[in-house]
Structures are given as structure tokens and as C-alpha cells.
Structure 1
Amino acid sequence: MTAGEPEGVQEQEPVTVTDRRRIDPETGEVREEPAAGPGPAEAEPVADPRADGEPEVSDLADERVAELTADLQRERAQFANFRRRAAEEKQGSVLYGKQLLIDKLLPVLDDLDRARQHGDLDEGPLRSVADKLVAELSAEGLTTFGAPGDVFDPELHEAVQHDGDGAEPVIGAVYRTGYRLGEKVIRHAMVTVTDPSDVGSDAAEQTGAQ
């Protein structure tokens, strides 16, 4: 406000008028459009977590499941092996116990064989007892081997006498019966070895000697 102006009258701002006409009225030429100002800032791209080599959560979960599955399979295999070994050890212990008992009964079985060869088991109560004992032992897997005429096998038979030329050795006489428990030989048969043509005479001599 200047001196001499009445109070209350304010100086007014100058009015600016912008000519927005596209054609200049003085030259008649088309005016150029003003350059556009900077547009809105573009959003920055979201970084892919896998771009830096970091695995996704689903990948980590799959790896963990695979590890747990492998651990479970190993545990199952170890348990199966443990059960198999336990069963084998139990079976071996049972077989060992049977063998100890049969070893103690072998002299009794030998006495029964001699009694049978002399006709003492043809009748009477002793025959019933002998038959029951042999039946029970057979049920446990005990079998006999070694009979006159069988082919001689050094893995099964113990030869105490050799006769003949030995071309085709067979058992001539049996002095002690051989026993097998399952597949295990627990006592070899004690026999004489001869030619096939002499089997009958050797067996008769062995029976008469006893």
C-alpha cells in the first residue's frame, strides 16, 4: 500500500492469462505442444527370491520329506535284520539244546538197537517204551543212516574194516548206527566196507558177533 491510498484497499495480484489456442492468431501457424512433464514413477520390479539362489519353502519341505523317508527305510531295514538274526539265534539255541539231549540218549539208543537185533524187542513192555522213545526223537528231527548195502560215504561213515578191491565200496556191516539231527550229522556210522557181492555175508557175521 502507498501513501495517499485509503486504508482497507489491498494491492491486487496481477492476473496471468495463458493463451491455449493451438493456432497463433498473428502468424496463423500451429503452435507446438508443450513437452509433457515427467510421468508417475514406475514401480520397481519385485526381486525373485530364487534369482539369488535361495530355495523356495516348498523345495525345502520336499528335501526334508525325502530325508525322513530315507531314515525310516533304514530303520525298517535294521529292524528286519535284527528280527532275522534273533530268529536264527533262537533256532540255533533250540537245535543246540536238542543235540545236548540226544547226545545223552545215544547210549540208550545203542542198547535198544542191540536188544532189537537179539529179538528182545519183539514183544513185551520194553518194545512199547522203545517205540515211543524213537517216535518222539524222530518228531524232533532225528534220523538214522548207515545200512548194509548203502554206498560208502566218508563224510557219513567211519570205516573200521576194508574188504574187496574197493572199486565200488559199499557198507558190509554196521557196528554203530549213525544219527543226523535235521541236516547236521551228530554221529558218524561205524561200518565195514566191502564189495557189493559180499554185503550179505558181512552183515551176518556182524549180527553173530553181537
Structure 2
Amino acid sequence: MEKERLPVTDLSLRHLLEERTDDLQRVKAEYDNYRKQVRRDRMAVREIAVANVLRALLPVLDAVDRTCRHEPITPGLHDIADTLRTQLASLGLQSFGEKGDAFDPAFHDAVAHHVSADAEQLVCTQILRLGYQVGEHLLRPAHVEVVGPPRPDADSQLGHDREI
């Protein structure tokens, strides 16, 4: 529409105007892409910064949890523990690791493995230390004890050990 309103009769001027318009549109598109990339980069930096702060606060959360388990809970301690958990959750901190969870080596560190002929898969039987994540970022795996079936090659290894 803009091109039709301009009373440009010289073809070379019209061509030059079209080139500059195309250049301007291309620069605008590049700038839009740049703004989107900067926004994504800022979000990524924010996620990393939040994950680092949360990872640094995990020992504090562990200490508060241990204290709540082993000491009489006073109103002050209860208030501190609730506030700490609420504020960390508002930053996206999520705990995981419950008795009965299927063992996932990406999220669990097995500290002990007990064999059960009745077990069909590895299952967490005791949570020794909770795991934490924020979004898709694993901050710390859960330390667990697992129960599972005997390994298929366990008998052959035992038999081999006896022969030696």
C-alpha cells in the first residue's frame, strides 16, 4: 500500500525503495530473533542461578529436617521449618524419594541392595536422604536402600567363586 501512495515514477528509485524496505524487514526480523534469544538466555541463566542457590541451601534444609526428627518441636522451630520449606518450594524446589518407589538410577543412589526372591523389580524400601530437583534439573539424587530380585548371573558368579 505504501508503495502505491508514493508518486515515484523513476523505476530505479522504485527498485531502491523496495530494496530498502526488504532490508528493513530483514533487520526487524533479525532484531526480533535476537530479542527472543536474549529472553531465552536470561531465563536459562535465572534457572541456573536458582538451582545453584537451592543446591547450596540443601544442607540447611537437611539440618532443619534432622532437628525436627530428633528434637522436641518448639513453635519457633516449627515456624522456621515451615517458612523454609514454603520459600524453597516457591522457587520450584521439589523433593522426591518415597518408600515403595521403583528404583531409578537417574534419581536414586542405592546405598544398600537386599535380595528377595519374591521381588520382580528394584524397589526403594528405605529413604536415607531425600532427593531434590527444580524443574528438570536434578539437584541431588535420593539415597535409598533397595530390594530386588537376584541378578541372573549371581548364581554363576557364586559357583565360579567356589571353584577358585
Q: Same fold (TM over 0.5)?
A: yes
Residue 66 of structure 1: how far off its partner (Å): 2.5
TM-score between both structures, scaled by the size of structure 1: 0.59
2:37 paired with 1:90 = no
Q: How many residues align?
A: 139
Q: CA deviation at 1:173?
A: 0.7
Match of 2:127 in 1: 174
Q: 1:29-63: CA deviations, max 9, x gaps?
A: xxxxxxxxxxxxxxxxxxxxxxxxxxxx5433332
Q: For residue 139 of structure 1, what is the aligned residue in structure 2?
A: 90
Map 1:60-209 onto structure 2 (within 5 A).
60-118=12-70, 120-121=72-73, 123-163=74-114, 164-165=116-117, 167-195=120-148
Query: Taking CA–CA contacts closer than 8 Å with sequence separation of 6 or more, which of the two structures ends up with the larger relative contact order?
Result: 2
Larger deviation, residues 162-171 vs 106-115: 162-171
Deviates more, 1:151-160 or 1:62-71: 62-71
Gaps of at least 5 residues in structure 1 are: 1-56, 196-210
What amino acid is aligned across from residue 122 of structure 2 in structure 1?
Answer: P
TM-score relative to the length of structure 2:
0.75
Query: After alignment, is 153-162 or 106-115 more displaced?
Result: 106-115
Q: CA RMSD in A?
A: 2.1
| Greater radius of gyration (CA) | 1
Shift of 1:119: 6.1
Provide the C-alpha distance between the structure 2 equivalents of 1:174 and 1:109, rounded to a whole number of angstroms.
16
State the Cα deviation string for residues 43-91 of structure 1 (Å, max 9, x = none): xxxxxxxxxxxxxx54333322321222112111211121122112222
SS in structure 2 opposite 1:154? coil
Structure (1/2) with the larger strand percentage:
2
Shift of 1:159: 0.9
